[in-house]
Amino acid sequence: MLALGRLLELTLAGREPTEKIQLLGEHVRLHWLDEGVLEVSLVGAQDCGLDLVLSAGIHGNETAPIELLDELLQAIARGDLQPRARLLVVFGNPEAMRRGERFVEQDLNRLFAGRHAEQVGFEAMRANDLEHHLSNFFSRPGRQRLHYDLHTAIRGSKIEQFALQPYAVGRSPCPQQLARLAQAGIAAVLLQDKPGITFSAFSYAHLQAEAFTLELGRARPFGRNQQVDLQALRQSLWQLIEGSETPTDPAALERLQLFRVSRELIKHSDAFRLHLPDTVENFSELAQGSLLAEDIAGSRWLVEEAQARIIFPNPRVANGLRAGLLVVPTTLDAWPG
C-alpha cells in the first residue's frame, strides 16, 4: 500500500511524507497538503461533481470516526474503493490525537469562523490553516459541496447517533440531506438557529457547503470502539465516495427526530453550578420548572420549556463558553427559514 494511504499512521507518528503526491493506478491522485490533511482526486477522468470533506479528530480523543476515515482511505489505497468524488480527508488536531486528549490548549471546535484571530496558540493556528484548506478545496464553481465533521461525545446519549445542522442567514435545512443522514443511521438532527464557530458551521455559513456535525457514540481510546456501530454510515460514505449513491427515500425523513435549540447555558464565572449529575446523558428529559443551573450574581436557569432535553452539559468549560444546550422537539414546517 502506498504511504499516503496510511495517513493516520503518518499523522500519529508526526511524520511528513517524502513524496507528497502519489498516483494510484491511472486516475487517482493522493496529495498530502498538511499534517493530517489529504486530498483524493481524479486525473484524466471525469468525477461525479461532488466535493466531499470528511473530517475527524477535531477533538483528539474521539477515535471511532478517526478509525472509520482511516478504513475508507486504506480501501482507496488498496483499490477496493474507487473514488468518483473529489475528497478531502482531515484529521483535525494531530497533537491532541497523539496525546489521546480532547485538545492541547483550547477547544479547536470553538475557534472557526474567524474566532481563531482572537486567540493565540497551537489550536488557533490550526483552525486558521484548516479554514484555508477548506476554502481552497471548495473554491471550484458549479459543484456540490458537502462536509461531514465526525465526532463522538464526552458522555452517553439517549439518542446515540445524531447530527447538528449549522445555521446561516437565508438558508434552510435541506430535506434531501436530512433523509440521507437518516439512511446513514442518524436518528436525530438538532437544527441550530444562530451562527456558530464550529468547523461545520464555517463550511455551511462561509463556504456554502451542506455541512453537519455528526455525533457517533461515546469517546473511547483507539482500538476500543467495538461497541460503536457505524456500519450504516460507513456504507453511506462509501457510496458517496464512489458515486454510487441511490436516491434518498423520502420515508427516511419521517423516521428522523428533529430538535431546535431553545436556550444556551453560558458559563459566566467560576461560580457556575450545573444541577445535573455528572452521569447525565445527552437528550435526557428535564422536569419543567426544575432548577437547572446557577451562576454569579444570583443568576438562575429554570426549565421553562415543555419536553425540554439537555445536550452537551459540561460545567468545566472555560468561562464565556457554552455549558449546555436546552433543546425541544420541532418539525421542518415550524422552521422559520
Residue positions annotated with a catalytic role = 215
Neighbouring C-beta atoms of residue 325, cutoff 10 Å: 20
Question: Look-up: residue for cell 422536569?
Answer: 287
Residue pair 40/54 in contact (Cβ under 8 Å)? The answer is no
Q: Maximum CA pair distance of the chain?
A: 67
> Cα–Cα distance between 229 and 234 in angstroms, integer?
9
Residue pair 126/93 in contact (Cβ under 8 Å)? The answer is yes
| Residue 133 marked ligand-binding | no
Contacts of 309 (CB under 8 A, 6+ apart): 158, 259, 283, 284, 285, 286, 326, 327, 328
| Residue 151 marked ligand-binding | yes
Give 210's DSSP letter.
Answer: E
Neighbouring C-beta atoms of residue 137, cutoff 10 Å: 24
Phi, psi dihedrals of residue 160, rounded to the nearest 5°: -70, -45
Residue pair 265/274 in contact (Cβ under 8 Å)? The answer is yes
CB neighbour class for 270 (10 Å; exposed up to 12, middle 13-18, buried from 19): exposed
| Residue 275 marked ligand-binding | no
Residues flagged as binding site: 59, 62, 151
Residues flagged as binding site for Zn(2+): 59, 62, 151
